[in-house]
Chain A
Amino acid sequence: MRWSVVDPEVADRIDRLELDFGRDGFDRYGVSKEELKLFMSLLKVFYRRYFHVRTVRIEQVPDRGRALLIGNHSGGLPVDAGMLLASLVLDHEPPRLAHGMVEKFVQAWPVVNTLFQRCGQFAGLPENAVRLLEDERILMVFPEGARGTGKLYRDRYRLVRFGTGFMRLALQTKSPIVPFAFVGGEEAIPVIYHAPLLAKLLGAPYVPITPYLLPLPRPVNCEIYFGTPLRFEGTGTESDEVIQGYVDQVSTRITELIDEGLAERGVSLERPRA
């Protein structure tokens, strides 16, 4: 028998994904069944043993068909995205693969760009997003973008400005929005400083520096709170004011979910009331 790092539970759940893989185990976007099994096995270790991720109301994510997962970025590195990805494969019935909309600078990085592609994490371009939604896939969007992961610890759990692109996408493709809150990431990777020079060298928007210097996550328990799907009527061509109004409804809902999570932990944050 060949030694394998693939976790049997992960392998079984990846086999159950309702995606059309070709004879060689690739789908039409270049997602690889085998590499997904490897990557998910690694994520599972972090998911179960390191961050002890707990999900609340994950059944709110539809079993089939298109949807947009919209939530907060928590922590200085997109660990939250990885854990959300793992939650949908490991804890959702049936397992689903969420497609992340990745920052464009990542596409130019060797190795990482290929790994992301094979695991269904694509460049965050509207063309890619529309195509995936029309193909009844699940999209994972953090509308705070790099502004969100770039939050410093003192600003933890405060949403920064939401991009509005996701709302136009949802309206245009008539996709439900499933709001979620990720709680714990800010304690896992507390960022106290950004290294601008290093960031420039790497072509990244920022490089997080933690109190213990290395941008590595600490083993802090994390939770993901899902909300009931939100549906908005429209075409995606509405004026900015209308779209902003819808976006505010979503970000308010996410703030409520964050507060639910913080209350559970016995933490309360002062929030300026609008």
Chain B
Amino acid sequence: MRILITGVSGALARMVAERLAQRGHQVIGVDRRPWPDAPKGIEIHRSDVRKRPVEDLFRTRRPDALVHMATVTHLSASREERYRINMNGTRAVWDSCHAYGVGHAIFVGRHTIYGAAADTPLYRTEAEPPLASSTFPDLADLVAADLFCGAALWRWPELTTTVLRMVYTLGPSRRGTLAAFLAGPRVPSILGFDPLFHFMHELDAVEAICAAIEKRPRGVFNVAGPPPVPLSLLTSRTGRKALPLPEPLFSLMLGRFGLPKLAEGAAQHVKYPIVLDGREFKRATGFEEAYDEVAVMESFRWA
């Protein structure tokens, strides 16, 4: 298959590209950022997903499948930039998929769109509403992008759309949202709260995306690996020291004293869990994780 990957220079996307190439697929990658030492078999184009050169790729190379990983979070882009990339960019590539007869498009999204709050069920199924627009306003654009792709399911029925809502990834690359939170020697938490954190090994995440390409499940799917663990255990198992802060102090101290900088609203994610029910995806693709929760934490710790 000829597969186009947007946002290919990201840590997880590179692994996906390499794995797909190993499996004998022809991989075309697009990103604004460079990937200097990209493996020989992978064709790299430097462009913004909203720009002409990417549409040209659709027109001239006619990919069979798209893996859309060109989304950004508040950690790397300003609000305006985020809306342009996450919403206009997603729209542009889905339009191209429709216009140029791509058979299958995968949106690689995040589980945080469900939002953390006191009154939500512990396990979220795909039917749960994404609450992040209210609990964590900096994720609103990602919520919108996710729902936009979901709407493509009925708007363009001939295009098989797969929306993946993936739990945090963690592993030896030490990249990603959760890795950034755990980067320092001390991990902040909120006194009296110890929510479950749901994550999977980055290689399992790569496997899950590959499984989605090969099995082409149509619809919206939660992607989860091993069971979630409490933040306190995640902190100690990754060799960090927990720093429980009273809630009023929490936002004041972030970004200072070697603590990670978090967006407004992130405190909710340190108080309440976001845990996914990933059974539907496993049924649809046969995906099974290879790393249990302890193995994931150890792989991050000793990398």
User: Is the pairing of A and B real?
Assistant: yes
Q: Which residues of B contact A107 (CB under 8 A)?
A: 118-119, 272
A32 to B193, CA, bound (A): 15
Q: Which residues of B contact A109 (CB under 8 A)?
A: 192
Are B237 and A123 in contact, with the CB atoms below 8 A? no
Are B237 and A24 in contact, with the CB atoms below 8 A? yes
Other-chain contact of B192, A23, A110, A125, A128 (Cβ < 8 Å): A110
A131 to B192, CA, bound (A): 26
Are A114 and B193 in contact, with the CB atoms below 8 A? yes
Are A125 and B227 in contact, with the CB atoms below 8 A? no
Does A187 sit within 8 A of B, measured CB to CB?
no
Are A127 and B123 in contact, with the CB atoms below 8 A? yes
State the interface size on chain A (CB cutoff 8 A): 25
Q: Which residues of A in the span 122-152 have a Cβ within 8 Å of any Cβ on B? A: 122-123, 125, 127-128, 131
Closest B residue to A130 using CB positions: B121
Given contacts A22-B293, A23-B294, contact A108 B118 (CB under 8 A): yes
Q: Which residues of A contact B253 (CB under 8 A)?
A: none
A108 to B267, CA, bound (A): 13
Are A114 and B194 in contact, with the CB atoms below 8 A? yes
Are B119 and A104 in contact, with the CB atoms below 8 A? yes
Which label, helix, strand, loop or mixed, suits the secondary structure of the A interface?
mixed
State the interface size on chain B (CB cutoff 8 A): 27
Does B292 sit within 8 A of A, measured CB to CB?
yes
A26 to B226, CA, bound (A): 12
Are A111 and B237 in contact, with the CB atoms below 8 A? no
A28 to B279, CA, bound (A): 13
Does B230 sit within 8 A of A, measured CB to CB?
yes
A122 to B228, CA, bound (A): 16
Q: Which residues of A contact B273 (CB under 8 A)?
A: 30
Does A164 sit within 8 A of B, measured CB to CB?
no
Does B122 sit within 8 A of A, measured CB to CB?
yes
Distance of A172 from chain B, by nearest CB (Å):
15
Are A27 and B233 in contact, with the CB atoms below 8 A? no
Are B121 and A125 in contact, with the CB atoms below 8 A? yes
Are A24 and B227 in contact, with the CB atoms below 8 A? no
Q: Which residues of B contact A32 (CB under 8 A)?
A: 230
Other-chain contact of A26, B119, B190, B191, B230 (Cβ < 8 Å): B230
Does B243 sit within 8 A of A, measured CB to CB?
no
Q: Which residues of B contact A117 (CB under 8 A)?
A: 194, 196
Other-chain contact of A23, B228, B272, B292 (Cβ < 8 Å): B292
Q: Which residues of A contact B190 (CB under 8 A)?
A: 110
Closest B residue to A32 using CB positions: B230
Using an 8 Å CB-CB cutoff, how does the interface string of B15-41 with A read, 1 for contact, 0 for none? 000000000000000000000000000
Distance of B268 from chain A, by nearest CB (Å):
11
Distance of A113 from chain B, by nearest CB (Å):
7
Given contacts A24-B233, A111-B192, A113-B193, contact A29 B122 (CB under 8 A): yes
A-B pairs with lowest CB-CB distance, top 6: A110-B192, A127-B121, A28-B227, A107-B118, A111-B192, A108-B118
What 17 additional pairs, Cβ within 8 angstroms, besides A24-B237, A113-B193?
A: A22-B229, A24-B233, A26-B230, A28-B228, A29-B122, A30-B122, A30-B228, A30-B273, A107-B118, A113-B118, A123-B118, A123-B121, A123-B122, A125-B121, A127-B125, A128-B121, A131-B121
List residues of B whose CB falls within 8 A of some A CB.
Answer: 118-123, 125, 190-194, 196, 226-230, 233, 237, 247, 272-273, 277, 292-294
List residues of A whose CB falls within 8 A of some B CB.
Answer: 22-24, 26-30, 32, 104, 107-111, 113-114, 117-118, 122-123, 125, 127-128, 131
A sample of 25 cross-chain residue pairs with beta-carbon separation below 8 angstroms, ordered by A number, consists of A24-B229, A24-B233, A26-B229, A26-B233, A30-B122, A30-B228, A30-B273, A104-B118, A107-B272, A110-B190, A110-B193, A110-B247, A114-B192, A114-B194, A117-B194, A118-B230, A122-B122, A123-B119, A123-B121, A125-B121, A127-B121, A127-B123, A128-B121, A128-B122, A131-B123
